[in-house]
Amino acid sequence: MSSARAVFQSPLLSGIISSRCYSSVCVSSCHTEVSNGSRLQARSQSRASAQSTAGLGSGGEKTAVVIDLGAAYTKCGFAGETGPRFIIPSEIKHPGSQEAVRVVQYNINTEELYTILKEFIHLLYFRHLLVNPRDRRVVIIESILCPSHFRETLSRVFFKHFEVPSVLFAPSHLMSVMTLGIQSALVMDCGYTETLVLPGSFDTLKLL
């Protein structure tokens, strides 16, 4: 089960705060599609949307951007929707040679990583999502084995360069459990470079 899809489907994310996150966030969204039919149905859906966002402090607050950076592909979209808007290769083209450069790298220096991530996130926002980074909070789906320097560099890109309101790092295995509406499960995460089998339990949130 895709951990990213779980976050897109979930109407509420709260309490999952990474120790490396500089700003806490509670993501709540409701995606309402109003048909051309019954006005009564439209009013009902609009009322449900307003109620779901009441806890955010502003009924008109824009939904968060959700990004799942994978070794081979990256999924991105908006919280509350049924799935990712885009699934694209996790790579950028080198300006000089047009050679593909992988985005998810753990063994390069911080400044080089910063440049690569900055270019890739710019691509996500301004070629695919087409939204202003300053207007929306960000949820990053990450592996619990993600090195701290990668997480910190990614945070620096979002806050320093794109000036997003806040960033939340959500463990991928817990996001898979969330969509099932259960408290715990054994999660098998089959990725491009590795496969992880982890117990997913919301009781572990206090340890994060």
Residue 55 token pair = 């806890």
Q: Is the pLDDT of residue 158 over 90?
A: yes
User: pLDDT class for 52, splitting at 50, 70, 90?
Assistant: very low
* Residue bearing the bigger pLDDT, 21 or 178: 178
Residue 70 token pair = 């994978």
Q: 151 lies in a domain? A: yes
Average pLDDT over residues 22-44: 37
Q: Which of 55-69, 122-136, 177-191 has the lowest mean pLDDT?
A: 55-69
Give the CATH number for residue 23.
3.30.420.40
Provide the pLDDT for residue 71: 92
Q: 3 lies in a domain? A: no
Q: Is the pLDDT of residue 11 over 80?
A: no
Provide the pLDDT for residue 96: 72
As for how many domains the chain has, the answer is 1
39 φ, ψ (degrees, to nearest 5) = -70, -30
Global pTM exceeds 0.75: no
152 φ, ψ (degrees, to nearest 5) = -65, -40
What digits encode the pLDDT tens for the residues 169-192? 998 888 888 878 788 888 888 888
Q: Which residues pair with 185 in a beta bridge?
A: 200
* Residue bearing the bigger pLDDT, 22 or 69: 69
Q: 42 lies in a domain? A: no
Q: Which residues pair with 120 in a beta bridge?
A: none
Q: 139 lies in a domain? A: yes
Q: 7 lies in a domain? A: no
Provide the pLDDT for residue 28: 34
Q: 50 lies in a domain? A: no
Count CB neighbours of 84 within 10 A: 21
Q: 163 lies in a domain? A: yes
In whole angstroms, how far apart are CA 57 and each of 54, 114, 138? 6, 33, 17
What digits encode the pLDDT tens for the residues 74-120? 999 999 898 999 999 999 987 677 788 999 999 999 999 999 999 99
Compute the distance between CA of residue 132 and CA of residue 124 in angstroms, rounded to an integer.
11
Q: Which residues pair with 189 in a beta bridge?
A: 196
User: pLDDT class for 148, splitting at 50, 70, 90?
Assistant: very high
Q: 137 lies in a domain? A: yes
Q: Which of 57-61, 79-83, 107-111, 201-205 has the lowest mean pLDDT?
A: 57-61
Q: Is the pLDDT of residue 68 over 90?
A: yes
Owning domain of residue 115: 14-30+63-201
pLDDT above 70 covers what percent of the chain?
A: 67
